[in-house]
Amino acid sequence: MSAVAELIRPDTNFVADEQLQEARRRLIVALDFDTVESARELVEALGDEVEFYKVGLGLQLAGGDQFARWLKDLKKKVFLDYKYYDIGETIKRAVSQAAEFGVDFLTVHGVSGILESAVAGRGNSDLKILSVTVLTSMDAKDIQEMGFPTSMSVEELVVHRARNAFKAGVDGVIASAHEVEKLKNEFEDRLMVVTPGIRPLGASLDDQKRIATPFAAVRSGADYLVIGRPITKARNPVESAHEIVVEMASALAAD
């Protein structure tokens, strides 16, 4: 487990209701299922404990768009994580449709021209455009395989891409907790940071490489945490979600 993940163990004894509410607002549960039926069952089980969900590629061809609409009908927030990557005009049209659909967050991947097209497609809607930097399942060896210089670290690539994203006018970036502090020092609240790769103490790492605990990620400055398997694969997902919310709230209380 990384140094960031082991940064500190939370004290959950002193958490106010407003901190719990804020933590719940900042938790995004990743519904990485193969079927809409399985995703719907979890949402119904979690009830009011979770208000924000990520719908990714696993559900895209299984009725993900209709499922996202169902979530919106439940007054839930929706993060559509399809990582759009195409020529500018196609991106502009796709993002425009997502904005009309009522999606809250949307991921886009690529160079400045693609990001600028996404911003144009968003128009005056409330849709937040998030640029992917480096996946939390990737490390230095992986980015070198992609063709980046061996002298470039993952953190340097993340910051480079974040700067381009900021110039393009997007609302935020996807980045691990390992880069959040550096990003916040540079951009402060002008660039939102949404952080996946979250693993509570003792949880399986699965295929993640750059991880952090919920407490450490919030303390580092992450605006939202995306958490999937520690909740969706838990024996008691409601209890697991609540424990994570409490841990996030304890990080907020430590300010």
CA separation (Å) from 150 to 159, 167, 210?
16, 26, 18
Q: Could you tell me how many residues make up the chain?
A: 255
Determine the straight-line distance between the first and last CA of the chain, rounded to whole angstroms. 25
Going from the C-alpha of 79 to that of each of 138, 143, 159, the distances in angstroms are: 22, 26, 23
Residue 149 buriedness (CB in 10 A; 0-12 / 13-18 / 19+): exposed
DSSP state for residue 48 in the 8-state scheme: G
3-state secondary structure 181-243: HHHHHHHHHHCEEEECCECCCCCCCCCCCCCECHHHHHHHCCCEEEECHHHHCCCCHHHHHHH
Task: Determine whether 83 is an active site residue.
Answer: yes
d(CA 212, CA 79): 21
Phi, psi of 52 (to 5 degrees): -135, 130
**How far, in Å, CA of 27 to CA of 25, rounded?**
6
**Given the residues 72, 76, 77, 83, the one annotated as active site:** 83
Question: Within 13 Å, how many C-alpha atoms sit on residue 147's CB side?
Answer: 0
| Distance from C-alpha of 83 to C-alpha of 106, rounded to nearest angstrom | 8
- C-alpha 245/C-alpha 1 separation (Å) is 21
Active site residues: 83
